[in-house]
Amino acid sequence: MEYTGTVAKCIYSVPGFTVFRFRTSQGEFTALGKLDDIREGEKLYLRGSFENHPKFGRQLKIESWEKIIPTDRDEAVELLSSGIVKGVGPATARKIVDALGPGAVEKILENPDVLNSIKGLGKKAPKIARSIMETYSAQRAVKELVSFGMTVNAAQKIYRAFGRQAPELVKLNPYCLTEVDGMGFLKADEIAQKIGVKRDSRFRVEAGVLFILNEALWKEGHTYLPVEKLLEKTLALLNKEYDCVTREQVLEALNHSDIKAHTRGISLAWAYRCEKDIAENIGRLRGKLSAIDPEPVIACFEKAHDITLTPGQREAVKMAVNSGLSILTGGPGVGKTATVRAVVHVFEKLFPGKEIRLAAPTGRAARRMAEVTGKQACTVHRLLGIDRSGKPAFNRNNPLDCGLLIIDETSMMDCFLARNVLNAVKKGTRVLFVGDPDQLPSVGPGSVLKDILSSSVPKVTLTEVFRQAAESQIITNAHRINRGLPLLIDRSRTDLFFIEKDEPEEIARSVVTWAAGLSRKGEDVQVLSPKKDGFLGTWELNRLIQEAVNPAGREIKYGNQTFRVGDRVIQTRNNYEKYVFNGDIGVIKRIGSKVEVQFNGDVVPYSYDELWELELAYCISVHRSQGSEFGTVIVPVSTSHYFMLARNLLYTAVSRAKKRLVLVGSKKALAMAIKNDSPVKRYTMLGEFLNAGGTYW
């Protein structure tokens, strides 16, 4: 449906989205859509369809729009004197139209200097021209960008990024589009070919190299690539259709301000600097701070809690108290938690009055840390006071004021979060990193925990499984998996089940049956899958489980996902404005003008355009489960996951279960996963920096 009319009233407006009342000859109605810079009194052409909103009633959802440029005298005078154009009243408007004709506005847009020839305007002429240009610049820029082959939504996003000069910038170097969120190299390359950019253009080669380095960083966790691997990948990308870019051209493109060449290979300059900062901070913080013997206080702790620490735990407590930075590692059931409690107790007694801060990368891990220590704990983001822009309030110039800082689940910390943490620690503070290096590496770039463990930083690894923990089949088999041994399952017990199924369809049905049955009983159940796609991936299992446990009710569709009230959802990116972070799990409480999701007691609203940040979370990836524990964990294990079957992935999944573990799949797939101890190596520089022969100590 098409409508021509006037903006009567703006109801709500944010960059890229506007709700307004629209007046036509047939009547007035509410319209909404992805519009920019719309003002009351402007004439628009709209195309869209009406929808009935449960709260706001009948609304026109705009599919396309255009500001109307007047073509007759009365319309031109009306627009110029409407108040949209600053400094122009009815008399001045008539004077301009009399001088330039009914197409006055179009003439001014084509050549603003035409106003200089009109007597009586004087110094007003440039201001009038600027106001008219501002009114129509977005529309003209978006229209021209769309002609390059991009969608209206993408064109509006680019206009917001670059302003009215956007079309010229794109024509000069279409690869500037890679700076715009959601506009990657492949789309920029497509547009570049449409507007005639040469395939061996320097801009294209440089953008290709940066694309490969960014893909390696964010998708594979590599902070650098060896030169030959970078050359191979870049040439494959740029010469996919035509053999036009040479090895020499790629090597020449490495002389770029955003790229750092070093002894190992090629990094993005800021990623290289990040790992170097971590190493320098560790050098600044490490070393012995005192020679205190905490043994008497440890004895008091043991008596108060009626426990006896193992030699390894005692050593860890002494290390944490006497070292600037140290690491405590070990698998499940080896007493890391009791050791952390002992460290906190001993530090409080030895250094009364000094503050202790506890944190973890995820909200779930922080809550668990608080429960087991009896002390307040928070997420690392909250610890650092990270604001809406992503900048931490605590840094080198404003360090944290505490005597002891303990970070749990440090295997989850990528190099950027680790740098922010260490930047915020002042010399003299004791820092204890706690983690399990046998788990999967962080979702983000780097291999921080393993790289630090490869250095001479003080460390203790706990290996003795406590008797009570050893009674758990989950913990026992987690350690067996880690040693490459087959599972031992006592079928008379109820904490571990292996449901043997061979075909993916059978595995999926069994997973859904278990998940739905336990969910209906109100149990804390989580399905974990190695990957997103495929019949046993998170996308399909989420759809099947949702239909089983929450098949009806108020819903909203976004892309290929349907969200319903009561659905379990996961945040897929850090949103500093909402203060929810990648991996946070919540429940949809209400769907109205906004979708309201409850995370840890806080209800967070999402507009329709923000729903891309959410995914259903009945089934999540093993990677996203790190730092969390669930009452029951269900894991499909299939040969269809061949490329994902690895020991550390299975170990991570198994160790997420607190009370019950259900493995569904084939014995062959399970054996393949346990046998495969060759996780994909990440290329990182941190280990080399830390072992640089005293350069940073």
Q: What angle do CA 11, 12, 15 make, to 5 degrees?
A: 145
Q: Is 334 annotated as a binding residue?
A: yes
**Spatial separation of the C-alpha atoms in residues 632 and 648, rounded to whole Å:** 19
Q: What angle do CA 71, 75, 81 make, to 5 degrees?
A: 125
**Displacement of CA 167 from its chain's centroid (Å):** 30
Written as one string, the DSSP assignment of 319-355 is HHHHBSEEEEEE-TTSSHHHHHHHHHHHHHHHSTT--
**C-alpha separations of 550 from 40, 516, 562, 588 in Å:** 44, 9, 11, 12
Q: What angle do CA 585, 549, 623 make, to 5 degrees?
A: 35
Q: Is 71 annotated as a binding residue?
A: no
**Spatial separation of the C-alpha atoms in residues 669 and 573, rounded to whole Å:** 31
**Spatial separation of the C-alpha atoms in residues 178 and 186, rounded to whole Å:** 9
Residues 6+ apart with CB under 8 A from 610: none
Q: Is 333 annotated as a binding residue?
A: yes
Q: Which helix (H) or strand (E) holds 135?
A: helix 124-146
Q: Is 335 annotated as a binding residue?
A: yes
SS3 assignment, position 87 = coil
Q: Whose CA is closest to 136, among 42, 58, 54, 208?
A: 42
Q: Is 336 annotated as a binding residue?
A: yes
CB 413 within 8 A of CB 420: no
Strand order across the beta sheet in which 496-500 lies = 496-500, 657-665, 630-637, 525-529, 619-621
CB 319 within 8 A of CB 460: yes
Q: Whose CA is closest to 132, among 161, 102, 110?
A: 110
Residue 329's beta-bridge partner residues? 435, 461
Residue 390 Rama label (left phi>0; alpha psi -120 to 50; beta): left
Would you list which residues are annotated within the binding site?
A: 333-337
Q: Which residues are annotated as a binding site for ATP?
A: 333-337
